[in-house]
Amino acid sequence: MEETRIAIISIFVYERTASSQVNELLSQAGEYIVGRMGIPYHEKNVNVISVVIDAPATVINSLTGKIGMFQGVSAKTLFSKQ
């Protein structure tokens, strides 16, 4: 079994049309997701999603990369030390 890491993926969705694509990818990774919080910030016209994930680093990096490729979406990952 591959070693897993805990990470937080921070996602900013600026284009509302990309929300369904982001949600589809997150659903596909559902087995690894520990928790998720989404905040619509109407004053700044952005949706902020924070995802806590426990998965192999390759899975986390792949997911972040795929999400970040959508137009109007920005994603970054912060890994735990362990």
Query: Domain segments of the chain: what residues?
Result: 5-79
Predicted confidence (pLDDT) per residue in 12-71, tens digit: 999 989 999 999 999 999 999 999 999 999 999 999 999 999 999 999 999 999 999 999
pLDDT at 2: 83
- CA pair distance 59, 53, nearest whole angstrom: 10
Predicted confidence (pLDDT) per residue in 19-32, tens digit: 999 999 999 999 99
**Cβ atoms 74, 68 nearer than 8 A:** yes
Does the domain at residues 5-79 carry the CATH identifier 3.40.720.10? no
| pLDDT at position 1 over 80 | no
pLDDT at 82: 72
Residue 34 tokens, joined = 């520990």
3-state SS, residue 54: strand
| pLDDT at position 74 over 80 | yes
